[in-house]
Amino acid sequence: MVRFLFRRLLSIIPVLAIVSIIVFLALRLGPGDPAAILAGDSATPEMVAAMRAHLGLDQSLPQQFLHWVVQIAHGDLGRSITSNQPVTTLVASRLQPTLALAIATIIFSILVATPLGVLAAWRRGTWVDNLASGGAVIGFALPAFVTGYLLVFVFALKLQWLPVQGFVPLSEGFWPFGRHLVLPTLTLSTIYIALITRVTRASMLEILGEDFVRTARAKGLPERVVLFRHALGNSAIPILSVIGIGIALLLGGVVVTESVFSIPGLGRLTVEAVVARDYPVVQGIIILFSGVYVLINLAVDISYAIFDPRISY
Amino acid sequence: MIDDVLSIEHLTVAITASSQGKTVVSDVSLSVGRKEIVCVVGESGSGKSVTSFSIMGILSYGLAPATGSIKLLGEELIGASATRMRKLRGLRMAMIFQEPMTALNPVMTVGDQIAEIFRYHRPEMSASDVRLRVRSLAEDVRLPDPANIVRRYPHQLSGGQRQRIMIAMALALEPALLIADEPTTALDVTTQKQILELICDLVARRGIGVLFITHDFGVVAEIADRVVVMRSGSVVESGSAHDVLTQPQQAYTRSLIDAVPGSKLPKARDVADHVVLRVENLSKTYGDSSGLFGPAHNTAPALLNASLSLRKGEILGIVGESGSGKSTLARCICRLQTPSSGDIWLGDINIARMHENKLRNYRKAIQVVFQDPNRSLNPRLRIGETLVEGARNFGASARVASERSRRLLDLVGLDDSALDRFPHQFSGGQRQRICIARALASEPDILVADEAVSALDVSVQAQVIELLEDLRQRLGLAIIFITHDLRVAGQLCDRLIVMQSGRIVEQGPTGRLFDSPSETYTRELLAAAPGREFLASARKA
């Protein structure tokens, strides 16, 4: 197990190396010039060139790359071209909203979707199943901006129960923090609830046909124990996998939701940085995310071993 | 009849979705008394399992009892509330199943699986009392080291140990009725013998009644007090075990008893001297390469220094229990696996370590038929496509290949219409015939049948064995017949090889091996075959 952890953590290094090369090249080979954007519309070619030299963009690509890698190795992700703030500071300031939204979404989705999927499988073919399965299709089909504005319209504008948009840090009290988080969480959760419900249902349907489920019933166990302990316990692996993938996708999916609700999180920071061709910020965020992806994968693999004693590393 | 633990009268089970009231079990009546073992015998589809599931109230989706009565200790079960049924399951009646690996929850310790019965049926018991009971149950079913074994997971136990856990679980609340649904079919003979003894012992000690479902009249002869024979959902014959075994009234019962392998003596046959395969000192060790990280795994060899020879037209049986290395030997001979050392001579060519590219030409000389015909045919290919594939691979033209596939089907007793159908449209026995036809498509010298009849009903088993015998005679085919069932091997094979823990323990002509085995292990295996006394007397008669 220790060796497995060590090997997997080591694997972060090649992943980051490959990701950094791809990101670095993609940004520079793509259209758009940060120097031109920064210098403004009325800048002369000389001014743009001067700006480019100032930013170090006049160096050859290998030189720029080497410079950047050495920087990262020192734990420095560089400074933003537009705001001149350190990338680490920028990311840190945007971390809390995204993290709060992501965690709330995952927890809420799991709590709603797993029992829903179990119920749908148990009552296969009945109205409960049809409702859950039909709901899942709608959940997949609805884009986040539609769900978001619908929820805002009903709960914020009509009923006026919840704020329309914005984010309040936890330091200003749990109540305002929580109230601002409800609608974005609901919005972002739709697709995850749909996804996890479908997978739970499918996985449960397979397991419910297994012999040990029949054994559990033959032992005279209550149906909830048969379902949740025996069947769900054995359906865990595919569900965990999809939750893991869900968390990874979440980091991308959060962009639209953050825009709808004007939440100053990492998603919006990414969009702003890409639009401004703010190379260091984009690079920094992507490196950070890819590190997180590797860790999520590792966490999922470890959770397999926790749920299934037959798996060991 | 208040003494009856179970009495079923005129039970009919119908398919709920069928508007014509299509039934899977009709008008079944039977009873089980205290201290009595009643065997329900029938082939797949006879309704024996459906009957037992109806008693337990665990019929699968889409089936429901339509009419009749099931009384457990005088209490009517049909129409009983779900809550009451749940109480009775475990408390008054319990069930054990065929495949103890899949019948146990793989992600819970076996001890927890026993303990949860007490947790839900006897909530007043303290945790330490439950622990004590679980341990004493493990002792009751004679599990080794009960204190530790209950902390293991199912995959860490042997098949016999898992079935003992199932029995412990069933006996937890001391039910009056135990339903055993083919509990020994998936086990080795020696393990089967122990489990049967355990069940008989529990009947004697605790006075429970047992409804024992089986397809094997050998098992019936070992344990049954009374027998109920079922076919297509109805009872065709019932009576005391002695009467049914010795004077069956129905032709169907007679045919089932006759189909028990080993009821006929193997005939001595002349075999040519032409050796088609010679295996010398073949060994195989799994996982013997060292990884990049960490040391080499030192695993015991799955096969050690096996030597044998096979002559044209000979049927050689390889017998052994699970883990004996018989399948490894077969897979190495077919080069589905590469042996670690030793030689495999096909004529004067050694294929033991031949490279895959060159091996291709020799593959057609050795063909394999596997155990489960349901899984060894591609479900999306028509039979015709499956049959021409092999021949086309080795260069036959489409016309020649399809002509040959017609002949092959004829050879295995199927007609042309099979060519355009899919595997799921055939019965298990027909599918195994198709698998054999598929194997014969490349005109091999040697056919390896790896447990090829083990998944089939006894009567179908007998037909496939007859087919193999017939093919040997007509084509001069040499056959390596691998089985865990000594009785089947005895009926078909000219010579036998007995394997244990990767080694060949004994080999010799079938008659000699059966009459005067020289090794203890062979004697144990022979003694463990169910119904051997009955069969011996039947042979004399």
With a cut of 70, say whether residue B18 has pLDDT above it: no
pLDDT in tens, B493-510: 999 999 998 899 999 998
Q: Which long-range contacts (CB under 8 A, 24 or more apart) does B59-65 make?
A: B59/B13, B61/A124, B62/B15, B62/B16, B62/B17, B63/B13, B63/B14, B63/B15, B63/B16, B63/B24, B64/B13, B64/B14, B64/B16, B65/B11, B65/B12, B65/B13, B65/B14
> Comparing A170 with B267, which gets the higher pLDDT?
A170
- How far apart CA B293 and CA B397 sit, in angstroms, is 50
Average pLDDT of the residues of chain A: 87
Query: Which pLDDT value is given to residue B188?
Result: 82
With a cut of 90, say whether residue B210 has pLDDT above it: yes
Number of structural domains (chain A) is 2
Give the mean pLDDT of B24-35.
Answer: 92
CA distance A222 to chain B (A): 7
- How far apart CA A223 and CA A214 sit, in angstroms, is 11
State the virtual CA torsion across B440, B445, B447, B448 in degrees, nearest 10. -140
Closest residue on chain B to A215 (Cα): B103
**Within this chain, do residues A174 and A115 fall inside the same structural domain, yes or no?**
yes
Is A82 part of a structural domain of the chain? Answer: no
pLDDT in tens, B357-416: 888 888 888 999 888 777 788 888 888 888 888 777 777 788 888 888 888 888 888 888
Give the mean pLDDT of A271-290.
Answer: 86
% of chain A at pLDDT higher than 90: 26
Among B96-105, B188-197, B258-267, the minimum mean pLDDT is found in B258-267
**Within this chain, do residues A290 and A226 fall inside the same structural domain, yes or no?**
yes
**Within this chain, do residues A175 and A32 fall inside the same structural domain, yes or no?**
no
% of chain B at pLDDT higher than 70: 94
Residue A220: which H helix or E strand, with range? none
Q: Which long-range contacts (CB under 8 A, 24 or more apart) does B128-132 make?
A: none
All residues of chain A having their beta carbon less than 8 Å from the beta carbon of residue B56 are 218
pLDDT in tens, B83-103: 999 999 989 999 998 888 889
Among A250-254, B34-38, B192-196, B279-283, the minimum mean pLDDT is found in A250-254
Is A7 part of a structural domain of the chain? Answer: no
Q: Which domain holds residue A17?
A: 12-73
State the virtual CA torsion across A220, A224, A230, A235 in degrees, nearest 10. 150
Q: Are A232 and A224 in contact (CB under 8 A)?
A: no
Query: Which pLDDT value is given to residue B296?
Result: 45
pLDDT class for A64, splitting at 50, 70, 90? confident
Is A129 part of a structural domain of the chain? Answer: yes
pLDDT in tens, A137-177: 998 888 888 888 899 889 888 888 888 888 888 888 888 88
Give the mean pLDDT of A285-298.
Answer: 86
With a cut of 50, say whether residue B292 has pLDDT above it: no
One-letter identity of residue B308: L
CA distance A1 to chain B (A): 13
With a cut of 80, say whether residue A252 has pLDDT above it: no
Is A175 part of a structural domain of the chain? Answer: yes
Among A291-295, B109-113, B531-535, the minimum mean pLDDT is found in B531-535
Q: Report all structural domains of chain B as residue ranges with CATH numbers, in order of start.
A: 1-92+175-260 (3.40.50.300), 96-171 (no CATH), 275-285+300-365+444-540 (3.40.50.300), 387-441 (no CATH)
Structural domain ending residue among the three candidates A73, A96, A122: A73
pLDDT class for B290, splitting at 50, 70, 90? very low
Give the mean pLDDT of B266-272.
Answer: 65
pLDDT in tens, B437-496: 888 888 889 999 988 888 777 778 888 888 888 888 888 899 999 998 888 888 889 999
Is B496 in a helix, a strand, or coil?
Answer: strand
With a cut of 70, say whether residue B242 has pLDDT above it: yes
Is A313 part of a structural domain of the chain? Answer: no
% of chain B at pLDDT higher than 90: 36
Which pair of structure tokens corresponds to residue B286? 């799994």
**Within this chain, do residues A100 and A220 fall inside the same structural domain, yes or no?**
yes
**Within this chain, do residues A97 and A47 fall inside the same structural domain, yes or no?**
no
Q: Are B62 and B15 in contact (CB under 8 A)?
A: yes
Which pair of structure tokens corresponds to residue B436? 């054999």
With a cut of 80, say whether residue B186 has pLDDT above it: no
Give the mean pLDDT of B17-43.
Answer: 87
With a cut of 80, say whether residue A32 has pLDDT above it: no
Which pair of structure tokens corresponds to residue A141? 């089909």
> Comparing B20 with B312, which gets the higher pLDDT?
B312
Query: Which pLDDT value is given to residue A114?
Result: 94
**Within this chain, do residues A25 and A103 fall inside the same structural domain, yes or no?**
no
| ipTM value | 0.78
Burial class for B204, CB neighbours closer than 10 Å (0-12, 13-18, 19+): exposed
Is A279 part of a structural domain of the chain? Answer: yes
All residues of chain A having their beta carbon less than 8 Å from the beta carbon of residue B102 are 210-212
- How far apart CA B327 and CA B316 sit, in angstroms, is 14
- How far apart CA A205 and CA A211 sit, in angstroms, is 13
Nearest to A234 among B89, B97, B107 (CB): B107
Query: Which pLDDT value is given to residue B540?
Result: 61
Closest residue on chain A to B120 (Cα): A221
Query: Which pLDDT value is given to residue B299?
Result: 65
Say yes or no for a CB contact (<8 Å) between A219 and B56: no
A228 close to B (CB below 8 A): no
All residues of chain B having their beta carbon less than 8 Å from the beta carbon of residue A307 are 107
Structural domain ending residue among the three candidates A45, A73, A101: A73
Residue of B86, B98, B107, B163 best to disrupt the A interface, most CBs of A under 10 A: B107
Average pLDDT of the residues of chain B: 86
A217 close to B (CB below 8 A): yes
With a cut of 70, say whether residue B541 has pLDDT above it: no
Is A2 part of a structural domain of the chain? Answer: no
**Within this chain, do residues A213 and A160 fall inside the same structural domain, yes or no?**
yes
Is B379 in a helix, a strand, or coil?
Answer: coil
Nearest to A225 among B91, B120, B293 (CB): B120
Say yes or no for a CB contact (<8 Å) between B90 and A309: no
Taking any CB pair shorter than 8 Å as contact, residues of chain B touching chain A are 56, 58, 61, 86-91, 94-95, 97, 99, 102-108, 116-117, 120-121, 153, 155, 166, 169, 293-294
Is A173 part of a structural domain of the chain? Answer: yes
Say yes or no for a CB contact (<8 Å) between B89 and A219: yes
Say yes or no for a CB contact (<8 Å) between B155 and A215: no
Strand order across the B341-346 sheet: B303-311, B275-284, B341-346, B349-350
Question: What secondary structure, in 3-state letters, does B69-117 show?
Answer: EEEECCEECCCCCHHHHHHHHHHCEEEECCCHHHHCCCCCCHHHHHHHH
**Within this chain, do residues A100 and A204 fall inside the same structural domain, yes or no?**
yes
Where residue A287 sits, what CATH number does that domain have?
1.10.3720.10
**Within this chain, do residues A245 and A130 fall inside the same structural domain, yes or no?**
yes
Specify the residue for token string 């695993």.
B299
Say yes or no for a CB contact (<8 Å) between B117 and A307: no
